[in-house]
Structure 1
Amino acid sequence: MRVVLNNNEIPKRWFNIIPYLPRPLDPPLDPNTGNPVDPSALLAIFPEPIVEQEVSQEEWIDIPEEVLNIYSLWRPTPLHRARKLEEYLDTPAKIYYKNESVSPPGSHKPNTAVAQAYYNKISGVKKLTTETGAGQWGSSLAFASQFFGLECEVFMVRISYNQKPFRRILMETWGAKVVPSPSNLTQSGKRFYDENPEHPGSLGIAISEAIERAVTTPNAKYSLGSVLNHVLLHQTVIGLEAKRQMEMVGEYPDIIVGCVGGGSNFAGLAFPFLKDKLTGERPNLEVIAVEPEACPTLTKGEYRYDYGDTAKLTPLIKMYTLGHDFVPPPIHAGGLRYHGDAPIVCLLYNEGLISAVAYKQREVFEAALMFARTEGIVPAPESAHAIKKVVDLALECKEKREEKTILFNLSGHGYFDLSAYDKFLRGELPDT
């Protein structure tokens, strides 16, 4: 079953969950003084409209017409009932997924890339710099930048640069310059590159390189694909659409599941529903974040202030962290290899309003293969983490004879990740 909205039903406003949080977010701190960072300090790397959204306390923020026009190339996205998967599992559970893989770059990431490119363009910016892990974010920003005539430079974590050449080609097709990170082009990257030119890299290092490049290049700004408040805000178009689609079939999820690296696709789907939990309308709603065992930020990290990047160029951010110098194993779910998580997601987890689980690589790909062979879509390795948890939940429903409604975010397709599937099928994928 496929549930679709009309083109005129794309949400016209983004939803901001901050007014509904059980307590205020801990502010970013200046590492030199220990005092909260003045939002104006962020103007060195972000344009003013983005900074305003980052600190906004407004529940609803209008989506500009220029952004809506580009959204309409692929939005609204369909909601699917995974009947073939349900039948294969012989479960009484109802499984739904929001299909964000239908965007031109193949993931949820352009929901914020288009918005950020627009706000930078109207602010007079000429060039955007960023980092990317698996390439979904980098390709989305390259896609968005070309609509607004912006240059785009992407520092791609080297292990993913090597593992996913087609993502690099896609970025270059949309006009971006792609650099394997760590590189010798920045001081942040050079110290790692000089020690080992084949250093696998990390998102923390790539972020440092991209920020350094932005602040040392005239008319350039930095763009981030996850973690910060404004990014999660832009992604709520996913959950707002999904809410309407679930209403159309007379359903409301008992459980929402999403993979988590920085937290953007998870937040995008979950936050409009979490509002109902926070207001007491749906107190029993379960929301589950799924991460890799190789980078278990929520499940094994410390809740404390830490830098968002390896070179310590960012303010200190309160989050669950494995340490800003953490270099994860080179697993194929490159988009989930960040050492920290979004402060909003971390606060919700710390308050017990969401839960988290971590899985190893091979069991994730087993679930991905099951999904591909029942539903027909090859999921991104990141999305497959959510699928693994959904399968476990559906089997629990079977054992307990419970009819629960499960909703998850298929955050992207895996057609650029077939080398990882090849390794799994050949039995060569490490169980990290």
Structure 2
Amino acid sequence: CTWSLPLWVHILLKFGNCTQHARISFVRVKYLFLTWLTVLVGSWVLYVQYSAYTELCRGHQCKNAICDKYRRGIIDGSACSSLCDKETLYMSRCLSTLPNNQVYTGSWGDHDGIIRCKLGEVVHYELGEELEPRREASVFDKPTRGTSVEKFKEMVFNHLKSKLGDQANLASLVTQILSVADGNRDGQVSLPEARSTWALLQMDEVLLGLLLQDRGHTPRLLGYCGDLYMTERVPYGPLYGLSLPWPLVSWVPSGVQRAMDQWFTPSWPRKAKISMGLLELVEDIFHGTYGSFLICDLAAAHFGYTDRHELRLTNARTVVPEDEFRRTMRVLKCETDDDCVYGVDCRTSCDISEKLCREEPVQPNLAKACGALKDYLLRGAPSAVREELERQLYACMALKGNAGQMNMEHSLILNNLKALLWRQISHTKDS
């Protein structure tokens, strides 16, 4: 027996099949479009990243420029032979954020470090073009041929005096620098070595790094060639342990960033030891061996710590001699207090009648250091010490004016805070 369906049923079935095919076709088109869009956006992002990388990361040009001058006998240094002849010193991951200031992780035998190198002025170029580094000839033109070692010592002494002021211990610092200048350890400073040393001393971060490394506050200088130099690598940084990639920084709200920072900190006893390192840094540069210094940017990004949880200042450019700070502010014109800022947060007040900035800093280093440590230390602090710690930190943050005018109060707060932290960790393995 054969069953035949009515005509209208056949029509409905055919219409349903057409609708189903249409839906499948639409889904295919949608996924094809999304795939095409993903490939397009991904390709654009990769192009932008590659363009930014090739513009920022020009390490091979730094090496070529340095080694060319080394082979011509213009410069020399403790790292020149390893960089240019033996090739046992090499650059790896690029950390540069400015095209004329090249920064790389690097290896030199058993040492891991950070390599920094200056390039001349960098101009915009099209992708695929070679950019010739325009290193100014004047970078390595001093001292001139015929300059005696005694004359070079005098040059170094006068340079240090102009940077640090008339300090009593400058002669011993000159001796220390000449020891660094003797790259091949033959007991003499050659003209090429002297030129490299002089070029390094023109960079404040190198000079201040040498001043502070004796106390263990900055990474140790491992070697140099011309104005390319390598320092120890600080294994943990920044201070909070988390550094967002630069494309994400502008997208993540600051409140969320602060919360994320706290998730990646060490245990509290270890944070206390790291914090004591920062307090000791403040103590050592307050009327130190070579005068007083100001830290003009206490952002966590400028600090790191070692496997032993010892603090290291990874960016010495944030430190400025107080003598230089005063000279700068003395001639700085102003309308309001907001005009009297040096660096990020070294401030003075404006003398409205003279329309010039005053010399006295508004806050000493210690007050700014306590402000940077407040959230870092209070989170996870033992309940038995939290209230007293908070009270001392706020008293510290309230310090005003030049610390030189309040030595007793400054020292009392600093010592009390260090003693409080030490009591909490002296019996632990972290001490």
Q: Normalising by structure 1, report the TM-score.
A: 0.27
Q: Which has the higher contact order (CA 8 A, sep 6+)?
A: 1
Higher strand share: 1
Work out which of the two has the higher radius of gyration on C-alpha atoms and give 1 or 2: 2
- Tell me which protein shows more helix as a share of its residues: 2
